[in-house]
Chains A and B, each alone.
Chain A
Amino acid sequence: MSVSGLGALEFHEIRRSFAGTGLVIDGVSATIAPGEFVAILGPSGCGKSTLLRLAAGLDHAQGGEVRFAQANDEPLARGFVFQEAHLLPWLSVLDNVALPLELLGCAKNTALGRARQALDQVGLSEALARYPAELSGGMRMRVSVARALVTEPQLLLLDEPFAALDEDTRHRLQEELRSLWSRRSMTVLFVTHSVSEAVFVADRALVLSTRPARVLADHRIRLPLDRPSQIRTEPEFIAEMKVVSAAFHKGRTA
């Protein structure tokens, strides 16, 4: 299958092993259409983060291929959000968000202007001059998302971004991420080990097995595009969770 359309991503028979841990990914294939929101769901340590790093170009597969169709310059085209915020403590919120553009050689003023826009999108336009140590965990994660969005990527990669947050904040950020995604055209790959998170944020869930990772299920989540918070208790949400959860647990015991 060939990749078509900007922002499309294809994993083709990916294999990756590490000295010490051995084979981590064993022949994963998946095609992700432009603008799709896909959750990669798997047990801890199954290699889903490795898959994400491969998609980011931070790591290289030993077998197979990652293909990514992009419009502009490659480094601009991908944004990455880590498990924790990982901000630079000596930079203000604004400077942290402007950093990617500055590293890419953007003029300081342009970078700051676009950083302001990105922070506006995550609802942090009031906190520009503050420093990471002064922010709550949820605000720090918002800054981290703004930093990933500032280059206007066609592909946004998130590695269990909300795992360390309390439930209320986590739910709120899930909702905001989904609405951010619906307002712009970008492909999102969201790694998580939480079934409910995967079902809420994504339109499709790729369920991975324990290490070495293989694709156990590729499930389309049939929920409306616009998802209010209350949907989490609706019967159709629970039904989707049952399906994904069954695949997830089958993979854990296998």
Chain B
Amino acid sequence: MKRFLPPLLPLLVVVVSLEFLVRWQILPSFLVPAPSEVARSLVVDRAEYWTAVTLTGGAAALGLLLSFVIGTSLAIVLSTSVFLRRAFFPYAVFFQTVPIIAIAPVLVVWFGYGLPTVIASAFIVSLFPVVASTLLGLQSTDPALLDLFRLYRASRLHSLLRLRLPFALPQIYSGLRVASGLAVIGAIVGEFIAGGGLGGVVDSARTLQRIDKVFAAVLISSILGLLFVVVINAFSRFSLRHWHASERTVS
């Protein structure tokens, strides 16, 4: 309880003061909705939000999964040769700096209005952190352990599967943590253009001047992003449970 109380306190202060600022008409309600209005919309329009969040969540999860599979494979390939790294890594960085909002319209041209565009958008923004951190992890294998594997004539495949990949796990997870938040953002940006999901809700609520719905959808998308991080953390804690004494549960 003592751990959860401090971060809740500022939230409470902001919510309560917003409520009164709007009620006393110090802040105009078309700019900022009263928290009670947002809460009301969350209850009244819950079916709409639920459909939206499953759509956005599903698309973001699929995009993240694609990033994980393709990003990890790409990092493994890049880790095998300096030449490949020099040839391709600059493009990976370039890829990262292209703003997703600028290429989303192109994605619609390629994939149409609908889920594929949203998934592609989530994938594109979440790919780079996976590649970069997996590559870093694969290149930071303990040199003594590489010597050990060489001493016992381990094949390249053995070294990869039994040493380098497991050794890179902490970095892979930290990449995935960053990527998971980005995947949710990417999916919502995709939905702005392609429609549907929380991005679609925000877009239509904005045109209907329903600022309470915009805020409600934004709140839900933050919670969705948080949920992704919590899931990644759970996986991370489970697979790294033997690494540090601190990760163990005391029996």
Residues of chain A touching chain B, judged by Cβ–Cβ distance below 8 Å, are 53, 56-58, 75, 78, 80, 82-84, 86, 88-90, 92, 99-100, 103-104, 131-134, 151
- For B239, the chain A residues whose CB sits under 8 A away are 90
* Contact flag A133-B151 (CB < 8 Å), given A82-B144, A86-B144, A90-B166: no
Q: How far apart are the CA atoms of A53 and B144 in the complex, in Å?
A: 11
* Contact flag A75-B243 (CB < 8 Å), given A86-B144, A86-B145, A88-B145: no
Q: How far apart are the CA atoms of A134 and B243 in the complex, in Å?
A: 9
Q: Is B158 on the interface with A (CB-CB < 8 A)?
A: yes
Q: Is B45 on the interface with A (CB-CB < 8 A)?
A: no
* Contact flag A103-B145 (CB < 8 Å), given A88-B163, A89-B243, A133-B243: no
Q: Is B160 on the interface with A (CB-CB < 8 A)?
A: no
Q: How far apart are the CA atoms of A82 and B152 in the complex, in Å?
A: 15
Q: Which residue of B lies closest to A80 (CB)?
A: B151
A-B contacts besides A103-B154, A134-B245, 15 pairs, CB < 8 Å: A56-B147, A75-B151, A80-B147, A80-B148, A82-B144, A88-B167, A89-B242, A90-B166, A90-B169, A99-B162, A100-B151, A103-B158, A131-B242, A133-B242, A133-B243
Partner pick for B149 among A78, A84, A89, A103, CB 8 A cutoff? A103
- For B169, the chain A residues whose CB sits under 8 A away are 90
How near does chain A come to B66, taking the closest CB pair, in angstroms? Answer: 26
Q: Is B3 on the interface with A (CB-CB < 8 A)?
A: no
- For A92, the chain B residues whose CB sits under 8 A away are 242
- Whether A57 and B151, one on each chain, are in contact in the complex, defined by CB atoms closer than 8 angstroms, is yes
Q: How far apart are the CA atoms of A90 and B163 in the complex, in Å?
A: 10
- Whether A103 and B153, one on each chain, are in contact in the complex, defined by CB atoms closer than 8 angstroms, is yes
Q: Is B23 on the interface with A (CB-CB < 8 A)?
A: no
How near does chain A come to B245, taking the closest CB pair, in angstroms? Answer: 5
- Whether B158 and A133, one on each chain, are in contact in the complex, defined by CB atoms closer than 8 angstroms, is no
Which residues B228-251 have CB closer than 8 A to chain A? 239-240, 242-245, 248
Grouping DSSP codes into helix (H, G, I), strand (E, B) and loop, the B interface class, with mixed when no group exceeds half, is helix
Give the interface residue-count category, chain B: 20 to 34
* Contact flag A58-B151 (CB < 8 Å), given A86-B145, A90-B243, A133-B243: yes
- Whether A133 and B142, one on each chain, are in contact in the complex, defined by CB atoms closer than 8 angstroms, is no
- For A103, the chain B residues whose CB sits under 8 A away are 149, 152-154, 158, 162
25 A–B pairs (Cβ distance < 8 Å), ordered by A = A57-B151, A75-B153, A80-B148, A83-B144, A84-B144, A86-B142, A86-B148, A88-B166, A89-B243, A89-B244, A90-B166, A90-B169, A90-B239, A90-B242, A90-B243, A92-B242, A103-B152, A103-B153, A103-B158, A104-B152, A104-B153, A131-B242, A133-B245, A134-B248, A151-B152
How near does chain A come to B248, taking the closest CB pair, in angstroms? Answer: 8
Q: Is B156 on the interface with A (CB-CB < 8 A)?
A: no
Q: Which residue of A lies closest to B145 (CB)?
A: A86
- For B153, the chain A residues whose CB sits under 8 A away are 75, 103-104
- For B245, the chain A residues whose CB sits under 8 A away are 133-134
How near does chain A come to B40, taking the closest CB pair, in angstroms? Answer: 50
- Which of A78, A100, A151 has its CB near the most chain B CB atoms (within 10 A)? A100
Q: How far apart are the CA atoms of A83 and B143 in the complex, in Å?
A: 12
- Which of B154, B166, B242, B243 has its CB near the most chain A CB atoms (within 10 A)? B242
Q: How far apart are the CA atoms of A34 and B162 in the complex, in Å?
A: 34
How near does chain B come to A153, taking the closest CB pair, in angstroms? Answer: 10
Q: Is B46 on the interface with A (CB-CB < 8 A)?
A: no
- For A151, the chain B residues whose CB sits under 8 A away are 152
- For A132, the chain B residues whose CB sits under 8 A away are 242
Q: How far apart are the CA atoms of A82 and B145 in the complex, in Å?
A: 9
Q: How far apart are the CA atoms of A78 and B240 in the complex, in Å?
A: 31
Q: How far apart are the CA atoms of A103 and B240 in the complex, in Å?
A: 23
Q: How far apart are the CA atoms of A69 and B5 in the complex, in Å?
A: 70
- Whether B243 and A78, one on each chain, are in contact in the complex, defined by CB atoms closer than 8 angstroms, is no
- For A75, the chain B residues whose CB sits under 8 A away are 151-153
- For B248, the chain A residues whose CB sits under 8 A away are 133-134
Partner pick for A58 among B147, B162, B166, CB 8 A cutoff? B147
Q: Is B150 on the interface with A (CB-CB < 8 A)?
A: yes
- For B163, the chain A residues whose CB sits under 8 A away are 88
- For B149, the chain A residues whose CB sits under 8 A away are 103
- For B151, the chain A residues whose CB sits under 8 A away are 56-58, 75, 78, 80, 100
How near does chain B come to A62, taking the closest CB pair, in angstroms? Answer: 19
Q: How far apart are the CA atoms of A75 and B147 in the complex, in Å?
A: 12
Q: Which residue of B lies closest to A135 (CB)?
A: B245
